[in-house]
Amino acid sequence: MERNVTLDFVRGIAILGILLLNITAFGLPKAAYLNPAWYGDIAQRDAWTWALLDLFAQVKFLSLFAILFGAGLQMLLPRGKRWIQSRLTLLVILGFIHSLFFWDGDILLAYGLVGLIAWRMIRDAQSVKTMFNTGVVLYLIGIAVLLLLGAISGSTPNRSWLPDAANVQYEMWWKTSGGFTEAIANRADMLSNTLLALGAQYGWQLAGMMLLGAALMRSGWLKGQFSLHHYRRVGTLLIGLGMLINIPSIVAQWQLGWSYRWCAFFLQAPRELGGPMQAIGYAALAWGFWPQICGSKLVSAIACVGRMALSNYLLQTLICTTLFNHLGLFMKFNRLQLLAFVPLVWAVNILFSVFWLKHFSQGPLEWLWRRLTARASGTSLERTSR
């Protein structure tokens, strides 16, 4: 099967874009990911950095990756039940290892667990319209649960939003010098909280995005089967609409000083609502302007990153945990300064991907994942070759 290079490019954009947010999670305490005033105050440069990332990146690239993951599940349906279940189970195991032994911000475990449910819904969907509408409903249920959690949460901030000095110092200690056992214990605690959040709230949204992606793939939209004018028009419309929904929330959070009562739940909802719109809009612009950009060497290089998405996602973890946890750079830089690390990691992702794919047909972890899936499912590699 011939690869869809545009899809690889969009996947590469998603993987690279996710780092714009993850770099904060690597370099600052966990509370800083959503709350720019996590230390009780905020510098103007950090406020503007947060606002711009919230408008253009927060939720958007994770949504894009989830949508593409769902599209991949649709593409895998001909491989059969045993192949898909084996592949997703292995992803769950890899995510568990990643989150427990390397980094507490893992997404692979969540994708594997939700994928094990979503693929059956994708397989059994009677039509594209049914699948798309189901995806929208599931996503909206997730947002409704978020609002419900806000209504019952009270007004006293917890340490995940506004940690005290002792909690910050403890997090810095176990991440940089606390030792292997202490790190495992803390990551296990965070993993249990993540699984609770997945079951109660985020899993609804993730399943919804996967179904949306599968519907867009089945309809031919994610295969580039519509006109360039259509993609450009849809991209412009969805990005504009998503930003219009998000901007009032950004302004309100800023004006409220990122107060826990309103900003931890209620004012997260507009971003969650507009995020998938902007994500699909980004993908639409890639297809709409593909004839103009497809000849670029940079675009080809980013497509290589997308072909090796799993390897590159984990490579980002290895680079950033080495820099911030093992070399002592954790909490040494503010939110704006941390962005300076992003192009450097991107360069490593790109150079590694281009070099590797000159010599091999798949990324190293993609190759291993495929071979283990074939063995677990009892399927020959020849039958599943692309």
Q: What's the count of helices (H) and strands (E) in the chain, helices before strands?
A: 18, 0
pLDDT score of 2: 65
State how far the alpha carbon of 292 is from the alpha carbons of 185, 230, 287, in Å.
Answer: 50, 16, 10
* DSSP annotation of 2: -
pLDDT score of 386: 40
State how far the alpha carbon of 352 is from the alpha carbons of 65, 208, 309, 335, 369, in Å.
Answer: 20, 33, 12, 27, 19
Residue ranges for the chain with pLDDT beneath 50: 385-386
Rounded Cα gap, residues 186 and 277, in angstroms: 35
Q: What is the Cβ-side half-sphere exposure of residue 251, based on CA atoms within 13 angstroms? A: 6
Rounded Cα gap, residues 355 and 242, in angstroms: 37
pLDDT score of 381: 66
Would you state the structure tokens that stand for residue 234, as one six-digit string?
């849809």
Rounded Cα gap, residues 341 and 23, in angstroms: 8
Give kind and range of the element (H or E) at residue 342: helix 341-359
Rounded Cα gap, residues 167 and 362, in angstroms: 42
Amino acid symbol at 3: R
CA-CA-CA-CA dihedral for 142, 145, 147, 153, to nearest 10? -140
* DSSP annotation of 340: T
Rounded Cα gap, residues 210 and 139, in angstroms: 10
Q: Is the separation of the CB atoms in 61 and 20 below 8 Å?
A: yes
Rounded Cα gap, residues 109 and 97, in angstroms: 9
Of 1, 2, 3, 10, the C-alpha closest to 287 is: 10
pLDDT digits (tens, 9 = 90+) for 210-228: 999 999 999 999 999 999 9
pLDDT score of 379: 82
pLDDT score of 53: 97
Angle at 21 between CA 194 and CA 63, to 5 degrees: 70
Would you state the structure tokens that stand for residue 216, as one six-digit string?
């867009």
What single string gives the DSSP state of each residue in 190-234? HHHHHHHHIIIIIHHHHHHHHHHHHHHHHTTGGGT-S-HHHHHHH
At residue 201, what are phi and psi to the nearest 5 degrees?
Answer: -135, -60
